[in-house]
Amino acid sequence: MGARSILLLLAASALANPARALDKPIEVRIPDCPSAPLSLDAFLSSLRVELAGRDPPCCTLASPSAGDRGDGAISLRVTLSIEPCDAGTEMVQIRVYDSIHATTADRQVALRDIPTDARPRALALAVAELVHAVSQPEPPRVPPLPPPDRALVLSGAFELRTHPNRNMTLWGFRPSLEVVRGHWQAAVDLEAARGDPSVSLGDVSASLLTATVELGPRFHLRHFALEVGAYGSLGWVWMGGRTNDPRNLPSSGSAPIASAGARLGVDLPALVRSANVQGLIEVGSMVHGVYATVNDGPAASLTGAYVVVGVGFGTEWTR
């Protein structure tokens, strides 16, 4: 016999082994109990009914003490463990082994609340469920979708801006347009805010309008996106005084302002598709600020360090 013929025979033998395993009936290993908590003959009859019409067919008996030799020729093995092996046992351990898919399933069946005549079918149903479970191939794993390569985000946030130790707190709104590309993002914001800090002789009305450019990395985590960026702002502020003392004349004025700082942003998915909930924290410092004075002394100012906290909503278009 030539080498070609030997190879053909080996290939045919390899292809035939899985078919032999599928043709061999399901092997059931039942302990040889002198008295069992259920009728094992009735269990086998019920199991044949539950597994009727499937491949491999049901069933052949084997002793639990039989070795695992010849696993390649047996596609499915069911092993029952009844310990202690007497009529008073209330728990049966089931193990089903599938040699084709190399899977094993275990289950415990409590017999305490099951009438004696219903125990064989209840146990057969549990075994049949395990047989069907281990015989099903695992569904293919779907890899997580990569983050969008390009996205455009339009959002708006309500914010609180405070300048500690400067007697200045403002409330405002910030629309933003953000471009995301890979793991980087750039944003342009418009900020409009207003505050009325109290001073010794009345209060100061402050309004500001700024434009901000921010740039930094964007990290796509499991359930949200995290942004860290540096920004710079330019804008204009208007201030006007109101006095409670008629002997003092209030005044008003306006001036440019400039600031720089760092921003931390979080994007969480909302209930609406392509929408998200946004939160931001900014820590910055005024590069060029404005003072409000009372009797030639500073009463409130947009100067020094400041903190901005905001929350809002956005919508995203991906590409």
- CA distances to 186, 212, 311, 317 from 178, in Å: 6, 12, 16, 11
The order of strands in the sheet holding 76-82 is: 58-62, 26-29, 76-82, 91-98, 103-110
- DSSP-assigned beta bridge partners for residue 243: 202
- The CATH number corresponding to 150-318 among 1.10.10.60, 2.40.160.20, 1.10.3720.10, 3.40.50.720 equals 2.40.160.20
Rounded CA separation 117/97 (Å): 28
Residue 224 is predicted with a pLDDT of: 86
Q: Is 25 helix (H, G, I), strand (E, B) or coil?
A: coil
Give the pLDDT score at 7.
32
Length of the chain: 319
Q: Are strands 202-220 and 184-195 parallel, antiparallel or unpaired?
A: antiparallel
Distance in angstroms (rounded) separating the CA atoms of residues 245 and 160: 30
Beta bridge partners of 61: 28
| E strands, 184-319, in order | 184-195, 198-199, 202-220, 225-243, 252-269, 275-288, 290-294, 297-302, 305-318
Instruction: In whole angstroms, give the CA distance from residue 81 to residue 91.
Output: 9
The reported pLDDT for the residue numbered 133 is: 82
Query: Could you state, in order of their start, the residue ranges of all structural domains in the chain?
Result: 20-135, 150-318
**pTM for this one?**
0.53
The continuous run of DSSP H or E covering 179 comes out as strand 168-181
pLDDT in tens, the chain (319 residues): 443 343 333 334 433 444 444 557 888 888 877 788 888 888 888 888 888 877 778 888 877 666 655 555 677 888 888 888 888 888 889 898 888 878 888 989 888 888 889 988 999 899 988 888 887 766 777 776 665 567 888 999 999 999 988 888 899 999 999 998 888 999 999 999 998 887 766 778 889 999 999 999 998 887 888 999 999 999 999 988 777 766 666 677 889 999 999 999 998 886 556 788 999 999 999 999 887 776 666 677 888 999 999 999 988 887 6
- Best CATH choice for the domain 20-135 from the list 3.40.50.150, 3.20.20.100, 3.40.50.11830, 3.40.50.720: 3.40.50.11830
Instruction: Identify the pLDDT of residue 310.
Output: 95
